[in-house]
Amino acid sequence: MMQERVFLSSPHMGGNEEKYVKEAFDTNWIAPLGKNVNEFEKQIREYTGVNASCATGSGTGAIHLALDLVGVGRDDIVFCSSLTFVASANPIVYLGAKPVFIDSDLDSWNMDPKALKRAFEKYSAMNQLPKAVVIVNLYGQSAKMDELKAICDEYGVPIVEDAAESLGAEYQGKMSGTFGKFGIFSFNGNKIITTSGGGMLVSDDEEAIKHALKKATQARDNAPHYQHSELGYNYRLSNISAGIGRGQMEVLDLRVSQKREIFDRYADGFKDIKAIEMMPELPNSKHNRWLSAAVINPELTDVTYSDIMAALNEHNIESRPVWKPMHLQPFFEECDFISEADGIDHSNYLFDHGICLPSDTKMTKEVQDKVIEVIKGLF
């Protein structure tokens, strides 16, 4: 008998979400904003330790606001991790700027400090410093923020930390998402917690978040009539969605430990198969293991990630390739790509041989054993 579809990662409610949504109904704070939004923003501040937060309708919107606030505009250059979901890069284009994509290293899968350094050397020699650097924390692992930040600081360029996937992760004892001038989180349906759709912009700069709050609500000046002195957006999170977020924050730590247990069971299950190389965890950091990812080393086996996907799919189990890097996307064909040395492309290697295994926290141990058995059967 075929079991129900096993998902990569799907919404997993904690139990109190409906209570907070109901509160919004009971007080008729369906809109605008309201207590759930305020409380949800406060929870994120307390959880991550930042000074200020602005809930948004999406993580993409939060990136757009962040890049706007650091002054990205027409014909500017913005450095951005190549190995990511397209939403890290699209807001650069919304603002009329041009992304330059930076390769990953193989120990974090995130932006390679050597490649970033090369990019700065190349573009500063052309007198074209980027206006910002978008650094992504892939699959819940922080990038090497100390090294990357030192390079950005040297050139005086602000970081927008795309922590859409890494809420709950830590790097050198500090919460992921708190390393840049701005950090952003996503609460899209498949993320570690969800508001059905939503995001959050965070920063230690309270003035900057005040400005973000204004821009996110159509940039209305403080006047009874509708007056606007700058460009704004309609980017705030609804009070209903924020109610879901409040309930989800109560189970975030539980979800992180569940995700980490799922990863550990895979690592243990595949320990005798040398060709399956589980995504590393940087020393002195905590991966939230949003998705359990691995590389199938082509030098050790003929089995490919697509063989694994097909085998799992026969059992009604979802898996995915690793994100297709931005510099290989048709839409970004014209954009520059910089790696540690000419001819090297780690993000393409990870894309060609990587796989994201089912990481749903509702998946039972028995079902996960099945996943492991099906994959082991191929080797």
Ligand X SMILES: *Cc1c(COP(=O)(O)O)cnc(C)c1O
Is residue 162 a contact point for ligand X (CB under 6 A)? yes
Helix (H, G, I), strand (E, B), or coil: what is residue 111? strand
Distance CA 17, CA 252 (A): 13
| In the complex, minimum distance from the CB of residue 88 to ligand X, in angstroms, rounded to a whole number | 5
| In the complex, minimum distance from the CB of residue 71 to ligand X, in angstroms, rounded to a whole number | 21
Q: Which of 321, 294, 296, 291 is nearest to 138 (CA)?
A: 291
Q: Which stretch binds ligand X (CB under 6 A): 80-88, 116-124, 208-216, 339-347?
A: 80-88
Is residue 8 a contact point for ligand X (CB under 6 A)? no
Is residue 59 a contact point for ligand X (CB under 6 A)? yes
Name which position in 87, 276, 279, 357 contacts ligand X (CB under 6 A).
87
33-37 contacts: CB < 8 A, separation 24 or more?
33/236, 33/239, 34/239, 34/242, 35/239, 36/239, 36/240, 36/242, 36/243, 36/245, 36/246, 37/236, 37/237, 37/238, 37/239, 37/242
Contact 322, 354 (CB under 8 A): yes
Return the number of the residue (200 or 312) whose C-beta is nearest ligand X.
200
Q: Which stretch binds ligand X (CB under 6 A): 39-47, 58-66, 200-208, 216-224?
A: 58-66
Contact 187, 200 (CB under 8 A): yes
Name which position in 108, 110, 141, 186 contacts ligand X (CB under 6 A).
186
| In the complex, minimum distance from the CB of residue 225 to ligand X, in angstroms, rounded to a whole number | 33
Distance CA 259, CA 239 (A): 28
| In the complex, minimum distance from the CB of residue 323 to ligand X, in angstroms, rounded to a whole number | 8
Residues 202-261 that bind ligand X (CB under 6 A): none
Within 13 Å and on the Cβ side, how many CA atoms surround 353? 21
Is residue 340 a contact point for ligand X (CB under 6 A)? no
Size of the site for ligand X (CB under 6 A): 14
Name which position in 11, 140, 183, 199 contacts ligand X (CB under 6 A).
199
- Residue 8 CA to its chain's centroid (Å): 15
The number of helices, as runs of H, and strands, as runs of E, in the chain is 12, 15
Is residue 104 a contact point for ligand X (CB under 6 A)? no
Is residue 164 a contact point for ligand X (CB under 6 A)? yes
Name which position in 88, 203, 239, 241 contacts ligand X (CB under 6 A).
88
User: Residue number with the shortest CB distance to ligand X?
Assistant: 59
Is residue 140 a contact point for ligand X (CB under 6 A)? no
Dihedrals phi, psi of 108, to nearest 5 degrees? -115, -20
Distance CA 259, CA 357 (A): 12
Binding residues for ligand X (CB under 6 A)? 58-60, 84-85, 87-88, 136, 162, 164-165, 186, 188, 199
